[in-house]
Amino acid sequence: MSDEETQVSRREFVHTGLQLGAALGVSGLGGLTIVGEAGAQTKRQYPWESLPAGETVPPTKLQLRTIGLGVSVQDRFLREFERRTGHKATGKVTGLTPMITEWLAGGYRNYDTNETNANRNAALWSAKLLQPIPVDKVVPWKSARDLFTNPKALGHDEVSGWPLVEIWVNPKTQQEFKLVPQFFNCDSIGYRYDLLKEDVTSWGSLVDPKYKGKVGILNDSLLTPGWCAGYMKKNNLAQIKRSDNMTRKELDTVIDFLIKRKREGQFRAIWEDYGQCVNMLASGEIWLADSWNPVVEDVKKQGVVCKYAFPKEGFTAWFHGVAVAKDTPNLQAAIDYVNFCLEGWWGAQVAPQGYYSPTTTCETYLKASKRTDPQGRFNDYEWWYLGGENEEPKKGWPIRGRDTGSFRKRWSNVMHWMVWPDDADYYAKRWNDFLSA
Amino acid sequence: MLDRSKPRAPMRQTHTPPAKAPALEVSTTLVVRRGVAFLERHPGVASLLLVLPGTIWMMLFVGIPLASIVLFSFWRSGFAGLVPDYNVENYAALLGGRTFWRITFWTYEVVIIALAGVIVLAYPAAYAIWRVVRDDRWKTAVLLLCVVPFWTSYLTRTITWLPMFGREGVVNRVLLALGVIGEPLEILLYTPYSMMWGLWSLYIVFMIGPLYHSMTKIDEDVMSAAAMLGATPLRTFFHVVLPLTRPGLMAGSLFVMVLGLGEFFTERVIGGAQNPMLAGLILRQIDIFQWASASAIAVTLTVLTLVTVSAMLRLFDLRKV
Amino acid sequence: MTARAPVIASVARPLIRPLYLAYLGFILAVLYFPFVVMTILSFQGPRGGHTFPLRGVSTIWYWKLFNPGKLTPYSDVGEFLGDYLASLQRSVVLAVITMLISTALALMAAQAFRRGFKGSGLVFYLWLLGIIVPGITVSLGLSLWFRRMDLPLHWLTTGLPVHVMWTLPFSLIIFLMFFNRFDTSLEDAALILGATRWKTFRHVTLPLMQPAILTSLLFAFTLSLDEFQRSLLITGTDQTLPLMVMASVTTRITPTLYALGTLTTLLSFAVVGAYLALLTYSLRKSRRLVEGSSNPRGSR
């Protein structure tokens, strides 16, 4: 694009941004969907590409029926998809367990795609209820991040093969997707800086008797022992080879340790749902928890001093993706949807929750928006991907940027990926022991 | 005594025959009349027909899933789904583990305390509605008022526990302001005590209704006879009201018992999830796609509940006419 | 009747009566305490959470109920913008149909159980299984079967059987409780006078059963409205209210839920109030009728 053209399109984007906002029922640029129309093109090659505001593509004969968690299945995203492609889009929001169980029980015939956590996808894939997507059908994949294409990338786990082994049918040739990555992040600890009066720098704080009775942990038989194992391994409290996929003996050590702490009254509550965790942190019922990133952002929005930690043992990484149902009659709609999620607009919408997009296409959208910084100095790309004022994890309060630092900083500090352990049954059994101890 | 097993021959009344109707309608009414007459003569068949629709419904929608679950409990859980590999591993692992028994005892402990609490709390309330509230309309109003809270999702009501009973909640703030306590009470939330309080407030409706119902059937003459004979209110209660409200007590207890044994949600949300109940184990197994062991737990829970119910019915058979 | 006086006197001793009333008030207060908090918090400011303190006062959460899917300047990405009112409507429709079917089937069955029939014990336990078998496994078993038979999942067609299955045992127990040691003298009188069984049932038994029928309708309605374990895997794309609330809680908890709770409670009060008004009207009408005729009031 020539300079002149870029100038014109930049002027245009504010205007079209406002129009887009009006079209989606938001007044003014205060609305969150407005992450700018980066160069609204009049000539589109694909239906899922960005469309100038106010226009709508006529309906097609296809429809998209998706199912997923509340973070990725949202009415606004589906409406935008419908606007751009003309495919009628409906989505069902439900929890991970009911979603996968329904799919496995034959419910996959009711949907075209599902949006799931990668560690659950292996079950669906091995049950042959999904179909592979050729990589050339996913156009934005040209701008994919290293993490999902290169085994030597920052954050890649050689031992488990994640994330490549979960995405590709054959990780070496990378020709077909089992699961198209949609968004990803890595988790640590959310804490009330104003109540703790110091920064949390280790997973050990969650099991530190200093914070007895002020800790909340997630009620998940697979994930919670995971971070505890990582903590114990890195601090030489136990001999553990793989903290993401432990043997029975290793798991026993971790669970027995957790039981000991539980009996000492370490854990105030064990949380299940997102909302519950926000609830507990915001009201001060617990001071720290192994919460998710958006929880901390939500608590911050309520004016509470809450931070996300940069633990020295590392983050626990995960990713969500879109999988396509085996015999869907709406295959083209499903493929359009996958492309839509990676095109950039979608990725920009989920960024303010701390989620990263697997392709770099969202950067143009994010750079054009300044929603997050209350002082308006940093654009959203600088805030969420580059860490704001600097790359480092932020100390103290107030902070000017993402608490845990830049993309590069975080992904060079990964403890393990949230893999589905081989011995999941034993994990569940010992977790029951823990809960009833 | 009236022998109601044999149908009584109706006394025929003379009446003018109906006007001649078109042929088709006559035959329909004839069939209906014949059918009704047949049923009158054979009350056994009539009974079976009456109970049939509901029974078919239950067979289809409970019988079939239950049969499936029993079947699954003897299979193996594959990585994602079931493998028809018959074995008793699921039961062996379940019943052999200490955790299962610990959780079962805890579940029964919870249910029994819940039931006892609900009975103690509900009786005075039902009695008050029956005898102390005078107008019929007020009685209906109070009963309906007891039910209205349950038309809001239970989940929404449990969410309000945090602003009510949390460390920064209303109760604690008021108590602190009044100087009754020096530090916020932690016992009000995420403890077994808070869970029990939650269960009581959940189940009390199921007891007040049936109890009140039974009380209304108590003859006023009996009550006045007791009073005239000089019984104190307490004696009247234990020797008159309690025995006569046994049907309601049993119905309410059945409800609370069965609901309590299937309970896990309150424990998680209000009880802090640190003292799991039996039904929660099932969900946990489904979380990790272990449908076979989930089925085994479900079957075990069903058997336990059936045994409990039949034991309760032995104390007082609700079906006695 | 002069016999009434000592009874009332023994209960209505000046100290005891208000104590009972106070206790009743206490129970109601406990049941409604969450609603007081809920109502206050439903006016939470736009940036507030769903616990105290109130950060400003606004009706935005009510607005969100009536404008599902719409964003506001305070909206953030993860907010759940589902259509609660639509799912409430579905739940109410389902609950009404459930209560009618459940009461009818249970009524018929209770009549059969009264007379007794072969295998009634087994049938009784079969009916009880509806509330005994753990909900989530029923959902799982049924969804596998619906899949086998290629039945599409829909809240009304596959959801209804499951709701009725859940409420039917409750209705049955209520009717059985009603018939337990039921005074059959009126029915017997009718039969002796030559009425057929059907006529007896319709004109004698049924009116007597009114309180049991109403209780069954009420319980079935209430139970169906909040049922979610069994419906979890078999409702299909359009969810009932409890499922939508569950989905919302796993995403974000916003005071929208409180606004919904407050609205439904106010609506319920209106319905109950209307019912009481109707009752008053019919009571006055029947009193006029009774006073008009010279029949003394029944001995029972």
pLDDT at C47 over 70: yes
**pLDDT recorded at residue C5:** 46
Provide the pLDDT for residue A102: 87
**Domains, chain B:** 109-275 (1.10.3720.10)
Give the C window 168-197 contacts with A, CB below 8 Å: none
Q: Where are the beta strands (DSSP E) in chain B?
A: 76-78, 81-83
Token duo for residue B282: 């099932």
**Predicted local confidence at residue A5, as pLDDT:** 39
Cβ–Cβ under 8 Å, residues B171 and C284: no
Write down all domains in chain C, each with its CATH number in brackets: 28-79+253-300 (no CATH), 85-251 (1.10.3720.10)
* Rg value, chain C, Cα: 25
Longest CA span, chain B: 90
- The DSSP call for residue C44 is B
Query: What mean pLDDT comes out for the span A212-239?
Result: 93
- Dist. CA A408–CA C113, nearest whole Å: 73
Q: Which residues of B touch A424 (CB under 8 A)?
A: 288-290
How far is it, in rounded angstroms, from Cα B86 to Cα B74? 5
Q: What is the pLDDT of residues A271-280, one digit of tens each?
A: 988 888 988 8
This prediction's pTM: 0.85
- DSSP conformation class of A398: S
Do C244 and C235 touch, CB atoms closer than 8 A?
A: no
d(CA A157, CA A226): 15
CA distance A300 to B98: 43
- Tell me the pLDDT tens digit for each residue of B148-201: 999 998 888 888 888 888 888 888 889 989 988 888 888 888 888 999 999 999
Report how far residue C91's alpha carbon sits from residue C132's, in angstroms, rounded to the nearest whole number: 23
The first and second tokens of residue B141, run together, are: 């109003």
Q: Determine, for residues B281 and A432 on separate chains, whether the beta-carbon distance falls below 8 Å.
A: yes
Q: Which residues of B touch A94 (CB under 8 A)?
A: none
- β A130-131/A315-325 pair status: antiparallel
* % of chain A surpassing 90 pLDDT: 56
CATH architecture of A189-313+416-435: 3-Layer(aba) Sandwich (3.40)
Q: How far is A129 from chain B (nearest CA, A)?
A: 10
Model pLDDT for residues C154-179, shown as the tens digit of each residue: 888 888 999 999 999 999 999 998 88
C-alpha to C-alpha distance for B37 and C212, rounded to whole angstroms: 28
* Average pLDDT across chain A, whole number: 86
Lowest mean pLDDT among A300-314, C43-57, C107-121: C43-57
The token pair at C192 is 């002796």
In the three-class reduction of DSSP (H, G, I as helix; E, B as strand; rest coil), residue A267 is classed as strand
Task: Say yes or no for a CB contact (<8 Å) between C272 and B148.
Answer: yes
DSSP 3-state percent helix, strand, coil across chain B (nearest 5): 70, 0, 25
Domain edges within chain A: 3-186+317-369, 189-313+416-435
From the list C104, C90, C125, the residue with the least C-alpha distance to C228 is: C90
* Dmax (CA) of chain A: 70
SS3 label, residue C195: coil
pLDDT at A11 over 80: no
Strands A315-325 and A414-417: parallel
Residues in chain C: 300
Query: Please, which residues 158-177 of chain B have a Cβ atom closer than 8 Å to chain A?
Result: 159, 162-163, 166-169
Question: Which residues have C-beta within 8 Å of that of residue B61, sequence separation ≥ 6?
Answer: C130, C138, C142, C161, C162, C164, C165
| DSSP three-state, residue A275 | helix
pLDDT of residue A396: 87
Which range of A310-314, C12-16, C288-292 scores highest in mean pLDDT? It is A310-314
Distance from the first to the final alpha carbon of chain C = 12
Both tokens assigned to C86: 């639509």
Interface contact flag, C52 B146, Cβ < 8 Å:
no
Distance from CA of C56 to the nearest CA of B (A): 16
Q: Give the residues of chain B that fall short of pLDDT 50.
A: 1
The pLDDT value recorded for residue B117 is 96
Q: What is the CATH number of domain A3-186+317-369?
A: 3.40.190.10
Which residue in chain C is spatially nearest to A21 when comparing CA positions?
C71
